[in-house]
A and B are shown apart, each in its own frame.
Chain A
Amino acid sequence: MLITQLKKKEELLPFFKENILLIACFGCKEVHFPSKEYELLKAELKTLNLNISGEIVLDYLCNEDYTAKRLELYRNEITKAGTLLVFACGVGVQTLAALLPDKTILAGCDTFYVPGFSGFTPTSYDCEQCGECKLGLTAGICPLTACSKGLLNGPCGGTKNGKCEVSKNMDCGWEKILLKSKAIGEPNPRIKEIVSIRDYKKSFS
């Protein structure tokens, strides 16, 4: 967990599907997790008559092996859930999305930049701590770190055989996003509608 801030509920509401399962990561909380705000949001969601089917609290969601084992314990809840709303840093959300490839994952937090700190667990997922998490729109694959150009609006024309023009060893991040979105019955219509432009102010906080 890096420095995170909860997304506004207005940003999340349009994407909820039936049976929302909350997943919160309290790992590396010595940095910062907005616990108080999280409790408030949870209470607020309950008053909105949203069907919240449960809550899973974990440490170090970014630790793939550990998280995979923990998720086993909640297999039924996860199967029934229409939306997994994840409160974790970008690395945590990506780890979970990769472990549950057929689920709709929504990022509940934005992750902000902390100098000299990039998580405790070595992982294959990277979070640029951009402060405006897109993972809920992009099937849990980060367009900033999975695309060599960090493109926010779809693939460039440089993909050949699923690989990036920069290296034949690097997958095209956007092809992965779109294929996975299709597999889980998306893409989220909004990803087609909106023109995303990065706000670099949020990287300098």
Chain B
Amino acid sequence: MRFTELTKNGKFIVTSELGPPKGFHIEKALHEAEMVWPYVHAINVTDNQSSVMRLGGLAMCKVLKEKNIEPVFQVTCRDRNRLALQSDILSAALFGIDNLLLLTGDHTTLGDHKDAKPVFDLDSVSLSHMVRQLEAGKDLAGNPLEGEPPKFCKGAVVSPCAEPLDPQLFKMEKKIKAGIEFFQTQAVYEVEKFAKFMKSVKEFGVPVYVGIVVLKGPGMAKFMNENVAGINVPQDLIDELKKDKEKTKSGQTGIEIAARLIKELKPFCQGVHLMPLGWDDKVPQILKLSGVTAEK
């Protein structure tokens, strides 16, 4: 079901994320998806995440659909020009995919094919505009589509804790003008900063699902602080991860922090998006502990 309808019905949206494997054996990925599915409204399927080549997201979405699991098809502009993007979006419509997450995508030099050609024929804004055109029954060049046009719920991303924030707000507004209907955010660890962000985007009237990345240890937190855009893990959380090494190693500290963040962030937003980065088995526990369940 489209998120727009769920939000309209007053539902607090819960999503998780799945990275397709590097290979074509999907048993493990499918098992992870099946484990998480009872607790979420939909599962995002990433698109060559971090510019690392993997199985195609569209194929993974189709498999999830066949298992009656609702996917969110993530589409980046890094690997495909406007012809290929439109073609894949139409294929997504054929497979009954309702929700899209439209992104510019990481640069090729960040991934495992650093020598590849970065495409970026379109970007997240023009990609949204392109989908809107398809929904209006025309392709990007203005040629008519045959039959009933496709209909999606179009999402995008935003970094609420980026500094400075103004460039993020500028882009967010442009995305909304280009047809974006919901936002999933970069990982948030600072509740006050997020509350302030939500106040400044209130006038846009578009639902925001806050991003949660489970902290696996102090090393990961420090690495993200130094290298990942829009993320700042405060020192007190790093100290909490350092305090009991065994508890952190087992994942318990990360689970507790994630659950607490969800509880504290929930009053400010319309949903939560979990990015477990391989710790998919911890998702049910996090959600149970946070008291958030996906009412379907």
Contact = CB atoms under 8 A, between A and B. Distances in A.
Given A158-B229, A160-B228, A182-B166, A197 B104 contact: no
Contacts of A82: none
A195 B125 contact: yes
Nearest to A157: B159
Interface stretch (A27-35, A56-64, A121-129, A148-156): A148-156
B229 A154 contact: no
A159 interface: yes
Contacts of A200: 121
Nearest to A197: B126
B295 interface: no
Nearest to B77: A149
B230 A154 contact: no
A159 B107 contact: no
B123 A192 contact: no
Which applies to chain A's interface (DSSP): helix, strand, loop or mixed?
A: loop
Contacts of B140: 197
Contacts of B159: 157
B191 interface: no
Q: Which of B107, B157, B173, B228 has the most CB of A within 10 A?
A: B107
Given A157-B159, A159-B162, A196-B126, A175 B120 contact: no
A77 interface: no
B171 interface: yes
B126 A159 contact: no
Interface residues of B, number: 35
A154 B174 contact: yes
A156 B170 contact: no
Contacts of B230: 157, 159-160
A55 interface: no
A6 interface: no
B167 A154 contact: yes
B201 interface: no
Contacts of A192: 170, 173-174, 177
B265 interface: no
B107 A157 contact: no
A166 B125 contact: no
Contact of A153 (B82, B123, B164, B228): B123
A166 B227 contact: no
B170 A154 contact: yes
B229 A160 contact: yes
A158 B229 CA distance: 5
Contacts of A166: 107, 109-110
B178 interface: yes
B186 interface: yes
A87 interface: no
Contacts of A11: none
A198 B121 contact: yes
Contact of A151 (B120, B129, B186): B120
B118 interface: yes
Contact of A154 (B109, B125, B162): B125
Interface string B58-86: 00000000000000000000000010000
B253 interface: no
Contacts of B125: 153-154, 195
B123 to A, nearest CB: 5
Q: Which of A192, A196, A197, A200 has the most CB of B within 10 A?
A: A197
A185 to B, nearest CB: 14
Interface string B164-208: 101110110110011000000010000000000000000000000
Interface string A143-184: 000001111111111111000011000000011001100100
Interface of A: 148-160, 165-166, 174-175, 178-179, 182, 187, 192-193, 195-198, 200
16 contacts: A148-B107, A149-B118, A152-B126, A153-B126, A154-B123, A154-B125, A154-B170, A156-B104, A156-B124, A157-B159, A159-B230, A165-B106, A175-B164, A192-B173, A195-B125, A200-B121
Q: Which 6 A-B pairs have the closest CB atoms?
A: A153-B125, A154-B171, A160-B229, A195-B129, A149-B120, A156-B104
